[in-house]
Amino acid sequence: MSTTPVLDANLRQKIISEPDVILDDKDLMRALVAANERAMGNNIIDLRGIAMERLEARLDRLEDTHRSVIAAAYENLAGTNQIHRAILRMMEPLNFESFLRDLGGPVAEVLRVDSIKLVLETAQTDEDPVLKRLGGVLTVARAGFVDDYITAGRNAPVRPVTLRQVHEGDLRVYGEDAGFVRSEACLKLDFGPNRLPGMLVLASEDPHQFSPQQATDLLAFFAGVFERTMRRWLA
């Protein structure tokens, strides 16, 4: 058998001087292992090669998991920053009307939703003049409306945050904007003892923006800050 090298001299010298170039290349190593198996024949089982394949498969799975974890962490960080910016913007107004107007404008823009509606339950039937001025954001409903709306009339527990996809919005909440709503986040609000509850509804034209499979921690935090801010205005 001839021992004369068949590789180009420069290439051979490169490999000898830097073998890690081959060791770090998965495709090259796979080709070398396959060539070695062919040279051994069909009657020999290369346990080392089988172990290498399994380790490579495990490494690929670990790398996929690593990328997924990093992506989820970045997404969570982006969501946290978004909620923080919305809260800071929500705390700027110095009067209640500006607070509600900003809710439907700058705050909605920061949260990247198409609409924000605030529903307040009341036992009174008289129409408040404030409601006429802020009808684009504020809706007044009968006592018991919030729980009924969140559960869709079913006998089910009322969760603090409910995410769902809808065919269209409810006219009682969205008014003339109901037609474009395809998903919504319903945040139940507790205004303290001896006060009827309320509800903050975030709506989107995108049917995938809010769905039951999504986490609700950040929205629950936003709702907690909002209801404490509202207690100050309702005092």
Instruction: Record the pTM.
Output: 0.68
CA dist 140 and 143 (Å) reads 10
Rounded to the nearest integer, the mean pLDDT of the chain is 83
Confidence (pLDDT) at 117:
94
Q: For the chain, how many residues are written? A: 235
Q: What is the dihedral of CA 97, 220, 193, 191, to 10 degrees?
A: 10
For 125, phi and psi rounded to 5 degrees? -105, -10
Confidence (pLDDT) at 164:
95
CA dist 190 and 38 (Å) reads 72
Which residue bears the tokens 């006592």?
143
- Between 79 and 227, the higher pLDDT residue: 227
- Between 205 and 75, the higher pLDDT residue: 205
Confidence (pLDDT) at 7:
66
Mean pLDDT of all residues in 96-106: 89
State which fold the 93-234 domain adopts.
Beta-Lactamase (3.30.450)
